[in-house]
């Protein structure tokens, strides 16, 4: 069975600080996909990134970066120079292959960025 663990529940930082959100996953498959989503107070999920299990390259997109390490089954997300608009709940999710492939979400991390 697949599982996603986001051990941090709430993080509070001051604007311009860097912050890393941790994600650890469990799966028996060799092929799988990992995701990060942002859920602002409005509730709508915002897709941030999808990474397949065969691509361990780190990714950078503006102030966002992701570190995928299969050896530790982790897919961590770093926000550099955080801003108040980054305040939201962030979910890490795992998908195994299959016709009706399902997303398994972690419990989410509430990030508060204070001015």
Minimum Å distance from CB 65 to other proteins?
A: 21
Q: Is 98 in the site for other proteins (CB under 8 A)?
A: yes
42-60 residues labelled b (16+ CB within 10 A) or e (exposed): eeeeeebbebebeeeeeee
- Interface residue with other proteins among 28, 30, 47, 61 (CB under 8 A) is 47
∠49-55-57 over CA atoms, to 5°?
A: 80
Q: Binding to other proteins by residue 30, rule CB under 8 A? A: no
In degrees and rounded to multiples of 5, residue 71 shows phi and psi of -60, -30
Q: Which stretch binds other proteins (CB under 8 A): 15-23, 43-51, 63-71, 73-81?
A: 43-51
Question: Taking the complex as a whole, how short is the minimal distance between the CB of residue 16 and other proteins, in angstroms?
Answer: 27
């Amino acid at each position: 069975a697949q599982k996603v663990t986001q051990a941090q529940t709430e993080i509070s930082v001051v604007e311009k600080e860097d912050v890393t959100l941790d994600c650890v996953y469990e799966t028996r498959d060799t092929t799988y996909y990992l995701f990060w989503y942002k859920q602002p107070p409005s509730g709508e999920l915002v897709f941030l990134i999808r990474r397949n299990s065969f691509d361990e390259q780190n990714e950078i997109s503006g102030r966002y970066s992701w570190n995928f390490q299969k050896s530790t089954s982790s897919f961590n997300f770093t926000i550099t120079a955080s801003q108040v608009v980054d305040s939201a709940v962030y979910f890490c999710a795992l998908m195994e292959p299959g016709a009706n492939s399902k997303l398994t979400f972690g419990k989410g991390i509430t990030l508060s960025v204070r001015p």
